[in-house]
Amino acid sequence: MICIQHATIYTPDEVIADGAVLIADGRIQTIAPSSQIDLPEKVSCIDATGLHLVPGFIDLQLNGAIGLDFTSEPRGIWPVAAYLPRTGVTSFLPTIISAPLTAVSAAQKIITSSPPRGFQGATPLGLHIEGPFLHPDKKGAHNPAHLQLPTAAKVANWLPENGVRLVTLAPELEGALEVVRLLSERGVVVSAGHSTADFAQATAGFAAGIRYGTHLFNAMPPLHHREPGLAGALLADERTTIGLIVDGAHVHPELVKLVWRLVGNGRLTLVTDAMAALGMPPGHYALGDHEVIVDDKMARLVSGTLAGSLLTLDTAVRNLITFTGCSLAEVLPTVTSTPANLLGLPHKGRLAPNCDADLVLLTPDLQVHTTLIGGRIVYQKE
């Protein structure tokens, strides 16, 4: 049993200024003020004086890191998972971008297999398949040679039991709504993205079962006062949750502030969309079968198109606070309970009894100090 004492604890309902959490068998047992905790025998205590204790972060869109690209090297999922706790991430969706469908199959085999012996790291919750059912006019950094129309046959084995949790597609494509309904019925979350959909087409997608929007504003028509398009539809429809890349480059900080005012009440998730260069020096890296040129701030194709990001999720949290003036308590759901709710995982993303003990201790300036997964320390700042 482990007890984390004297932390500022962020539960779904309150902030406890000097709190303690008891953990056993990988789950949270008790949360209370430190003065009210009766410590059992044989308990290991962690003194968290001056630190914030928050739920572990969940990233719904991550293409790779530390030089590894999931689409071309799906075995990289495990070493990247071992790296992520230093950024506060305890669960994530490895993202496979547009490629031959055999690339999806290869990633499914990896993610449904056992982790390497001795593995300690973030939990892959399933794949995010971003493509190949995207509109060519909004391909972004995806290779147009791999784009194709969706059919039921092509997604025959795409279901959570086979490692697929989230699928991004363009709802206006021929056959897309049938595939949306099929995947939704299986429990796969379907997202609209890389799309030219107008407002009516987007709304038809929501009626068919789309419940998420991939990196709002990016790879979709701009918001227009007479044609709100996919972006406007996502912001307006209460059925949808929205992903946002808060790095200051993909979306202007003032627009981030506006989005926060509109959907920061439980419909917003921060994502990194980070690629292989995350955690690496500037240079040339892969995103699928594209070469990406990376400096110390940004990743772009040779054409200049943005190609994922170099963002970490803890940085995204700090950025949102800086851009909007919101508090840590207000921003936390965007990287914890809201993505967990979208995926239907009530035991994740919450600091509450019986939930998984996936936890992060943050310093006063919100840097990651310690990360626990299943009640075990997997990262601690030196």
The residues carrying an active-site annotation are 273
Amino acid at residue number 85: P
Separation of alpha carbons 76 and 73, rounded Å = 6
Q: Exposure pattern of 258-296 as b/e (b: 16+ CB <10 Å)? A: ebbeebbeebbbbbbbbbbbbbeeeeebbbbbbebbbee
CA distances from 101 to 44, 96, 98, 364 (A): 48, 10, 8, 45
The answer for residues whose C-beta is within 8 angstroms of residue 349's C-beta and 6 or more apart is 55, 56, 58, 333, 336, 337, 338, 339, 340, 341, 355
Query: Which two tokens mark 80?
Result: 């990247």
Task: Kindly report the length of the chain.
Answer: 382
Separation of alpha carbons 190 and 159, rounded Å = 11
Separation of alpha carbons 312 and 294, rounded Å = 15
Closest alpha carbon to 358 in 369, 350, 346: 350
Query: Residue 77: which H helix or E strand, with range?
Result: helix 77-83
Separation of alpha carbons 279 and 310, rounded Å = 8
Closest alpha carbon to 104 in 182, 185, 158: 158
